[in-house]
Structure 1
């Protein structure tokens, strides 16, 4: 009611409506204050991609839409959080580098140290989401929620999955139920732990799975429902600190296959690799033509971690190779790409193989 109309009323009614307007103003402000404060850090990816037509779901261009447009496209975000956005990178995630990770990790830690930030959502390309999530799971120094999210369809596609994924991720990041759960990945109405999740499909919206250990929970109606916790240490309970790190040691992955030769391994060693993840067949088996080169590399100081290309199961220490004798490390249940991340961080702390093995069983 305008001031003019209020002025034409009796003094008692005028005072009543002015008081009512003041109360509504206070209540509206109080409601905004009770909503959590969530920062969205955008890095690019398919969620920010555009296609030539509404039916273009392959062959689109990733990392075109800025964070402000992503937020504006989902006005419902205001119902679950006070949202702000920041464009950290604008890249397709296959181009993510160690330097990007260090920059992102430091920015996340700086924001989470602020009292006016309750949680963080990171929009990210799906190709390396699981790797960025696991890296952050090891280096974030806060119990506040950090949620990675993306899309399998570009923003211009029919039934684009980005908007609902983003809405869900913001709801999770602002939820007290997500505090202390470690870094999470939100896709397709499901919640996954960073250590265990993998992209399992090239193109469908349900690409992210935790096949053996199971997802962390679901999100429904803007509320997360958690059904398990992770037994491995993460975030504030890790020994890794990137505050003063400007680079990570070079660690590369050698993929196992029939008729494998040591050519790739030798090239990585010559290029200065401090560590090698051997993504072996089966239970991390070592081909007869490659094993001598791995042994020689370790004797010269390169750290060797035996992993498996299979994607599920525990890599048995002293199983397909005598790791104690060879001074190798077993990857436990980490896939090769995540084993690479842990070895890089481990090498910033120690050159002791036994200590590195302990870290693989801890994180």
Structure 2
């Protein structure tokens, strides 16, 4: 017919199909190319052409979204793992007056929910259950805070939906809190601690990527059964061996001789070896997770000409002493003499090293002293506090034996 629009296809080859009319009507609404409905009745082939075009348009739209950086997002899937994020304060929640200020800032300002706002795309890693558990600089952390964190983590880990815990913490005492949780939590689910060396307002803040990496590790099945972990600067470390080695560097934590357990590369955790064996001492003191009144243990720093009265002061007031000795845990003769009196009186004395690397080994001249092995003085203190609490009702000889046994295990590489 002259002047009429040509049909999309020959009608005598199209079966009568009312569904075709429905889909072609949709095409007509948006493209205005549908011929007279009477011509298109039953045109299934036209429907196939329409869907082919629709797929092409969808492909182009997806490519445009990808390269423009505005890819479509969806709500968190319930198939994603669920991770509890517990915030305690520290530099990672700190605020400075300018983007370049990395030293003079106020720690523990941002809330956990505010920190989550700095993590675009975290909803694609895990479902987050956020918990605010204090907001203070970590130099003010005490054993009472350890007990609070232990109870909070233990409670969260009982939730069958939770696959792991991330705990943000100031870095100054991060290794002590991490080791405490390593010793007192018996769950196979990962407990991952992280922090930052720069405040949240810094031009190159390390907090957001550290949290994101920590969440990825907590959600990773390969992280289970490894005890408490520490994730900083894309490295995965054991809470038993991680120590802070720098005051300002973003790579502030290392495991020194034992090495790190793995890395987070492009957001994906990669462990260097399996976790078949339970880490030493993990969950050994699970019954003490909520105990806040732990025995007093002093750390005495060894140095040339150190005053003996410092040791005498600790002997009168503490239940145990950790000596951060010189070299392989050595000390002046006068100090050794006084500490032998402490040991004779039932006060355990742990020999550690101030060097920061290498084991403290048994020596004949220090018979009766307990070598700290690979443990730092700070971690030896945490372990001794818990060991003494566990043995508080034991006789002196049994208590000393228990301390020696637990350090023989915990001080290994």
TM-score normalised according to structure 1 size: 0.88
Please report how far the alpha carbon of residue 300 of structure 1 lies from its aligned counterpart in structure 2 after TM superposition: 2.4
Corresponding residue to 2:366 among 322, 326, 338: 322
Is the CA contact (8 Å cut-off) linking 1:306 and 1:331 kept in structure 2?
Answer: yes
Provide the secondary structure at the position in 1 that maps to 2:263: strand
Change (3 A) 1:249 1:113: same
Is the CA contact (8 Å cut-off) linking 1:305 and 1:330 kept in structure 2?
Answer: yes
2:384 maps to 1:343: yes
Provide the secondary structure at the position in 2 that maps to 1:118: strand
Aligned length: 335
Which structure: larger Rg? 2
Deviations 1:117-136 (A, max 9, x none): 11100000011111111111
2:111 maps to 1:70: no
Is the CA contact (8 Å cut-off) linking 2:186 and 2:286 kept in structure 1?
Answer: no
2:294 maps to 1:253: no
CA RMSD across the alignment: 2.0
Q: How does 1:8-87 map to 2 (within 5 A)?
A: 10=22, 32-87=77-132
Q: Which residue of 2 aligns with 1:19?
A: none
Provide the secondary structure at the position in 2 that maps to 1:33: coil
Is the CA contact (8 Å cut-off) linking 2:143 and 2:292 kept in structure 1?
Answer: no
Q: Which residue of 2 aligns with 1:137?
A: 182
1 or 2 for the larger relative contact order (CA 8 Å, sep ≥6)?
Answer: 1
Please report how far the alpha carbon of residue 362 of structure 1 lies from its aligned counterpart in structure 2 after TM superposition: 1.8
2:353 maps to 1:353: no
CA distance in 2, matches of 1:133, 1:115: 23
CA distance in 2, matches of 1:137, 1:128: 14
Please report how far the alpha carbon of residue 11 of structure 1 lies from its aligned counterpart in structure 2 after TM superposition: 9.9
Q: Which residue of 1 aligns with 2:308?
A: 262
CA distance in 2, matches of 1:13, 1:133: 64
Q: Which runs of 5+ in 1 are unaligned?
A: 1-8, 15-27
Structure 1, 224-233 or 301-310: larger mean CA deviation: 224-233
CA distance in 2, matches of 1:179, 1:361: 25
Is the CA contact (8 Å cut-off) linking 1:120 and 1:146 kept in structure 2?
Answer: yes
CA distance in 2, matches of 1:288, 1:89: 45
CA distance in 2, matches of 1:231, 1:111: 21
CA distance in 2, matches of 1:98, 1:64: 22
Deviations 1:213-265 (A, max 9, x none): 111100012211111357742434x2442156241110010000011112222
Q: How does 1:152-301 map to 2 (within 5 A)?
A: 152-228=197-273, 229=275, 232-236=279-283, 238-243=284-289, 245-270=291-316, 272-301=317-346
Please report how far the alpha carbon of residue 301 of structure 1 lies from its aligned counterpart in structure 2 after TM superposition: 2.5
